[in-house]
Structure formats: structure tokens, C-alpha cells
Chain A
Amino acid sequence: MTKQIRQLDRVVIRFAGDSGDGMQLTGDRFTSETAQLGNDISTLPNFPAEIRAPAGTLPGVSSFQVHFADYDILTPGDAPNVLVAMNPAALKANLADLPRGADIIVNTDEFTRRNLAKVGYATSPLDDDSLDGYAVHPVALTSMTIGALAEHDVSKKDAERAKNMFALGLLSWMYSRPYESTLRFLERKFAARPELVAANVAAFRAGWNFGETTEDFSVRYEVKPAKMLPGTYRNITGNAALSLGLVAAGVRSGLPVFLGAYPITPASDILHELSKHKKFGVVTMQAEDEIAAVGAALGASYGGSLGVTTTSGPGVALKSETISLAVALELPLVIVDVQRAGPSTGMPTKTEQADLNMALYGRHGEAPVAVIAPKSPSDCFHAALEAARIALTYRTPVILLSDNYVANGSEPWLLPDVESLPELRVEFATKPNGEDGTTFLPYLRDPQTLARPWAVPGTAGLEHRIGGLEKADKTGDISYDPANHDFMVRTRAARIETIPVPAVEVEDPDGDARVLVLGWGSTYGPIGAACRGLRQRGHSVAQAHLRHLAPMPANLGEVLARYDKVVVPEMNLGQLAHVIRAKYLVDAIGYNQVRGLPFTAAELETMLEEVLKNV
């Protein structure tokens, strides 16, 4: 049967199933195939905190959304065009997000009375009219997979588990994806068990062939490659990019990277990744707690390493006292906070931007640190390098505010040329700096950077003692002198405030916008997509995005003053907006959501359109 081929410019697919169904892997493979084809991509995994919630229940649903297009895109997509639902729970949990007309591929084998009852379906939605308006494709995924593997030497359980590869094969056929990388992946993954390689490949092919032969799928789609800058790309998550950025910081500084970390969602993947890179001299230590993790990192920095600690909000709270010590010691330290929904344990696998106040202010005493935030998964690489640059150059703790959305989301990354990465070499102190030529003054500052000398143990003649007690200017001796304390507090503030950071850039293609949308961190994609949508419909709107939150770019005040209205969308209750109001006396309009999910471009567009009407 000849199938019709239809061209699309963009598609959003959501794979959803039970947390044991392998949906993250399925989505990941589909993404990799799509990357090979050259589409632009953005992905969003969404999974429960429970490792294995009771099978078939709503809390156990795990999903992976992938948005791909023949042009550059900024978000994983607001609403899926296609839902793959591996069981009734996956259908029920995701149906509300689907626009009418969307394709729904359901695994009918799982629509048993028992599974339907588990999620409160009195009758099967496949049999009543509740799915009218959607294009439903009932597929007996499990039984067809088992059937396809009848001749294979695998258990029934292993055969059943291959159903995600059947689904991947079907979707790969539907969207004309190149699948060689998936076959290679399966060979790698099951290298120790060749029978599983054969079974999974067979399941994948069965899914592909099913699409080709069944009459239920009459149309096959194509999405042409996007026009992207020339170069070599890979698809990368934020946590992976951040880890590579830290490795790169070690290479570019010539210093060993020391990571002290305690396992915490959603930051643990950085610990896992960095523990693989010992050949770069990276030392990772899984500490006994969050406090020890940052303590060990600070100890390593004292010894001349690039000390790093990675965590999420609750961990930063525990590290707070040590970060203040690092402020007093004036040593480099990178603290990565992969933010999640709080307070307390909150929703550990859901995203939020509510640690900004803590990063800026969450310490005892006047304890300023530098704060930066990446705007997208691949930007985490460059943000990590920038955090290291500031920490090493200015001898200060730097908090890097990632979040679950950029950490686990992915996008294509144009691989940078290593030689083009910033040069981060530092000079340790090697000889006395006192006027007499023999004295060492550990708190004599560089007039440009206000950084003190980094004299690491092992350097003869520079033996000195540092500590949390207030120090006298220059000598570093213990001092309770009132004027000295006042001077030191102001100097520590000034040395953060005067760090030169790049000017904030404004995107205003029409040049006549009167409304500025100001964001920070992971909201860059949704805000950018909303602004594009508005411009396409004839509106003028300007977008600016902050990477540096402390210190803020020197031109920010002047930029803010140019616009009649400044709107600040944040996944918190207005933390940046408060800073903008206090610091620049601008009547910033907050737009705030804390649902554990990223903004959709559509909701931002709707909100901004209202603002634009009233300018």
C-alpha cells in the first residue's frame, strides 16, 4: 500500500507510560534520531519522584516530550500534536494537554478493566465518546511485540519489555526518522546479552513494519532539516553540558577540578558525569552530607584546586554557613544549585526558580557572592565556564542557578572550538608581597580585581593563617577594630559589585517597542517564543535576559528606563521583580507561576498581549 507523505514544519510528540515502561529511553532515542536528521530540537522529560510508583497509577506516569522543527525553536512545545499512551493512566494524565485533533496512539493491551479502574475510568475511553475530536489509533502494542518475538530466545517478560522499541519503531516510521543510531545504541546497551539486542531490534522493526502495512496509519510525515549554523552538533541536557563546562574549566585553568557532592535530585547527574572524567584530573567525592561536600570543596580550593559543589535548594541551605566562610576567606568556590520546587522536599522532580533570594541574600552577615544563571540546556556549558572564571579571577564563591527544566531538558549544541573557550589561567602567589620584601600580606588586594593573593600550602615563605574571624586589612591578622570591620564589609561588597560582566542585550527587531520583557535563567525559551509569536502578529515587544544576577550588568538601569512597562515572568512569586523594584525604582510587573512546570509560550503571549493593549 502506498502511503501519502505530508510535509510539516514542526511536531510535538509526547511519549507517556508507566515509570517502568522505558519512556525516557524511548524519547531519548527518538530525539537522537531526530538530531541525526538535522531538525532543531527541544525536549522536556517529566517523571515522578518515586522510582517505581505502583504500576498503572496516575502518580506513576512518566513522560518525555520532544519538539522538532525545520526552523530554530526555543521550547519543548506547549501542547503535543501526538500522544503515545502506553496505559490508561498515561492517557488520563496527559489528555488535558492535548489540543483537539491531536493524534493519540494507545496501547490497547493495557486497557483492561483492572487498569481502567485504577485511574477511575468507569468505562474505557476507547469505547465511549470521550475521545471524539481526537485521532485515536488503537494498537495492541504489547501483544504484537510478544508475537513478533515468538521465535526469539527471550523470556515473556523481556519480550513484553521490548514494547517501547515497538512504539519507537512505529513513531520512527511515521516521522521518517533515520534509525541507524538506535540500532547501534541497542548493540551497546545490551552488549552482554546478544539475545536482547536481537529481540529489541526485532521489536523496533516490527513497529516500523506495522506502520508501513497497517491501514490505520495512512499518512507518513516529513520534517525537513532546520537551517542551522554549520558545524558539528550533539544533543545535550543541561546537567551534561554543565558537567562538561566544569571539565573544560579545569583544562582552561590548568587546575584540578575537585567536586564535593551529596546525592540530591535533580543535581546528582553532574556527580555521576564528573566521576567519569578522572583522566582530566577531576576528583569527585561523595561526601557524608551537604555541609561536608562544600567543606571539602573549599578545602580543595584552599589547596589550589577549582573547588566545586553541586546540589539543589535544600543543599544550598545546609551549605550556607560554609559559603559565608568562603566569602570571609576570599577563596574560589563554585556552588551549583539545580533548583527544584520547594520549600523543603517540595516536588523534587519539578522545576522552579525560587532560590534566587537565597542565592542573593541567604547567608548570615553581609556575605555577597556572584550569581549567574544559564538560559538553556547547552548554555549550561558556558555558564559553568563563566562561574569558574569569576570564582578564579575574583577569588569568590559563585552560585550558578540552574533548574530542573534546563538540567533535564535537551537541545542541539553546536560544539565549540576548544581554543576559543575563555582562558582561565591563574597565578598563585609565589613570593612575599610586603614592602619590606620578606613579609607576606594575605589580604593585600589586587587594585584592579580587589582579589587577594592565592597562596597555596606548599609555597615556602608564605606560611599564613586564615579563618572566619574578621581580618585586618592587608595583614589578615584577627581584628576587632570597628573601622577595619566597616572597611572590610564594604570592600567585600565592592569586590562583587565591581566585577565587570557583559552588558545586557535587548532584542527589539522593530526598534519601537514600549514594553520590555525581562527574564532570567530557564525562562529564556518560553519568553523568546512568546515574543516571536507577538511580533508575527504585528506587535512590537522587546526582550532582555539576565545571565548575571549579581552583580547585574552595568547598563541594566539605563535599559529598564527606556521602556514604558517592564514585565518580569518568573517561576516564583516575584523574586527578580522585587530586586528590580528596589534597585532601579522601576514599577516592574510580575508574572508568576509555581506549578513545577515551565511556562508555555502561549500563556506568556496571552499575558503580554494584555499588557501591550494597555500601554
Chain B
Amino acid sequence: MSEPVALKLTAKDFKSDQEVRWCPGCGDYAILAAVQGFMPELNIPRENIVFVSGIGCSSRFPYYMNTYGMHSIHGRAPAIATGLSVSRPDLSVWVVTGDGDALSIGGNHLIHALRRNVNLKILLFNNRIYGLTKGQYSPTSEVGKITKSTPVGSADAPFNPLSLALGAEATFVARTIDSDRKHLQSVLRAAAQHEGSAFVEIYQNCNIFNDGAFDTLKEPATRDDFLIRLEHGQPITFGKDGQFCVVHPPGGFGLEVRETANTPAEEIVVHDAGVADPAYAFALSRLPGLDLSNTPIGVFRSVGRPSYDSVVQEQVAAAKASVDKTPEQQLAALLGSGDTWTIL
């Protein structure tokens, strides 16, 4: 096969003619710019890229991308995108969704797309609030969250989106942050290269209804102590000068954070996104505390498994391989199959 021709697209080629209408200061602007900046790297013609979204602030995203796009209905983007992707394996299909869209009204479609391993790149903008409906708590809001619909604090426990995705045995699971463009694009790159479902949680600031939700992960004073930057094949250490590390204590099920100085080097977990058992990535997803301390970002899990699309298309191709008639001839044979009788 010859090398693909370089398309020489730029970020500008991916900007649509529509005026972007998120609130000034919204984290969505940074994500949009990062995605538009990353898209040329794919070297895929714009017409072969489709963005499908549901409902919510993040779901306006497709209008701003100069690709094919569908702004669908609340929660259903993974289902619609599944039908598109499985019937058109030639396309690069991206789903843009939010914490309410993907985890509340559309929770069922999300987990089933992930367990099937549909060839979708799912970007979940998690701002831990309902923005478009003006400030109700979301399925990722912390317990006790005071919002318009929970004036004395929410009573329900939140989802951990990565734990949920891993429970559905997603083959690619990652987390990144709206404000860290370089990291965001590195995660998009890995997601785009993955065959099957790629689930990316993007921490996104809603400066109107939940401002500063992720500040500890962003402020220079705190971020190094709070963020664990996962790198495949590297020991997991973080904090100033790597003063903390992650270990797997004998006898326990999960992972724990220790002081590096007091930990033998061989006990420090070396990150391996390719571990077949989702339990490892699940343990990573359980590290953060309520205050977002010990929050891993990067690729938690990336394992190979045939995509649903490819299995379905292989079945069709195998069935077609034995065909030596025109469709009309095949149809005539099908209609006349079974017990028939002829009246002269």
C-alpha cells in the first residue's frame, strides 16, 4: 500500500461558518480549539469525519466543526453513532457528550456502545453540573452539592465516569483537562489511533454554574501535588520532584499512594495501559479523593479487541463471498424458497 497523500489541512479548515455561542470563559472553547488544532493530524478528509452529539452545552460542538455532524437528542448520540459507524466503517465517527447526556439520560447507550466496542471516539465533557438547563446537579456532582434543584445539598452519590466505563469493559479509557491543550491533544491522538470504542473524559470548567470545579488540578500551586500524569511504561510518581508514588500493597485489592522516599523502587507500580484485566485501570480510577487529590490523567487503559463494526462487516462480507448471482436473481431465489407449488 502506498503512503497516504498528505492533505495539508489546518485548524482553520475545521472551523465552520457558525458563530460559537458558549458563555464567554467556558472551557468548551479550549476543547474546541484543541480538537480543531488536532484534526489535521488525522490526515482524514473532512468529509469522512462525523461528529454526533446529544443535548447539552457540549452537544453544540458539531455545529462548529466543518465536518459532517448531527446534533441529535438527549442521551442518544452513542446509539445513533453506532448505527452510522457500523453501516459506514469508512468514516471516522466522534461522539461529543456531557456528564448529564452520557451518564444520566443516556447511560444505557454509553455502556452498551463501550461493551460492544463500537468504533467511536467518545469525548465526555465533565463539568459536574447541568449548564444548559441553568444549574441543576449532575450525576457527577459531589454529594451535598447545593444547586437550584438541591437547595440543601444533593443526596445522591455520583458516578465515577472512568470506573463506569471500565465496568463496561471499555477497551480505551482516558482522562484529560480542558486547559492543558498539549495533554488533551496527546490523549486525542491515542484515542484516534485506537480500534474500537475510545472513551475520553475531559474535565471542563463551567464558569457560570460550577466555576473552579477543577482549580486544584490547574493552579500552579496545587496541580503537581494533585495530578498523577500517567505514562505508559513509566513508574507512577507525582508531586514536586516525584515525592509521591503509587503502589499495590500486598493483600489489598486496590492501589495506594505512598511517599516515594519511604518506598523501595521495585514496589512502585509501572504503568501499563495494556493490562488485559480491567481491574488495574479500575484501581487507578479509584485513586482520587473527594477533594480531587491523587487524580490520574492520561491513558488508563488501551487494549486490543475486534470492534463491533469489524465483526459485523466481516459477517456480511463472508455471507456475500459465496454469492455468484445478481441481487435480483438472489431475490427471486429467496422469494421462491421453501415449499412452493405451481398452478398452470
Contact = CB atoms under 8 A, between A and B. Distances in A.
A234 interface: yes
A322 B52 CA distance: 14
B286 interface: no
B16 interface: yes
Contacts of B83: 258, 260, 285, 295-303, 307
A168 to B, nearest CB: 15
A575 interface: no
A292 B71 contact: no
Interface of A: 32, 35-36, 38, 181, 225, 228-235, 244, 247-248, 251, 254, 256, 258, 260, 277-283, 285, 287-289, 291-292, 295-305, 307, 321-322, 325, 329, 415-416, 418-419, 457-469, 477-478
B8 to A, nearest CB: 15
Nearest to A414: B343
Nearest to B75: A291
Nearest to B66: A463
A468 B63 CA distance: 12
A579 B24 CA distance: 51
Range of interface residues on chain B? 35 or more
Given A292-B108, A325-B72, A457 B91 contact: yes
7 contacts: A234-B341, A256-B87, A292-B79, A295-B80, A300-B87, A302-B80, A463-B68
Given A247-B331, A279-B322, A465 B16 contact: yes
Contacts of A416: 335
B327 A234 contact: no
A303 B63 contact: no
Nearest to A462: B47
Given A415-B340, A418-B328, A285 B316 contact: no
B35 to A, nearest CB: 15
Contacts of A462: 47
A415 B336 contact: yes
Contacts of B80: 295-296, 298-299, 302
A220 B79 CA distance: 59
Q: List the 8 closest A-B pairs by CB distance, nearest first.
A: A467-B71, A299-B83, A296-B83, A295-B79, A278-B319, A292-B79, A299-B84, A299-B80
Given A247-B331, A416-B335, A457-B50, A231 B86 contact: no
B342 A231 contact: yes
Interface in B69-87: 69-73, 76, 79-87
Contacts of A235: 339
B248 interface: no
Given A279-B323, A297-B83, A458 B76 contact: no
A345 B166 CA distance: 35
Contacts of A36: 339, 341
B338 interface: yes
Given A283-B312, A295-B76, A466-B70, A228 B343 contact: yes
A279 B337 CA distance: 15
B320 A467 contact: no
B344 A251 contact: no
B71 A465 contact: yes
Given A38-B343, A292-B108, A465-B69, A258 B87 contact: yes
B182 interface: no
A299 B81 contact: yes
Interface in B131-183: none
A305 B45 CA distance: 21
Nearest to A240: B338
Name the residue in A244, A300, A322, A457 with the highest tally of chain B Cβ atoms < 10 Å from its Cβ: A457
B340 A233 contact: yes
Most chain B CB atoms below 10 A, which of A260, A295, A298, A478:
A295
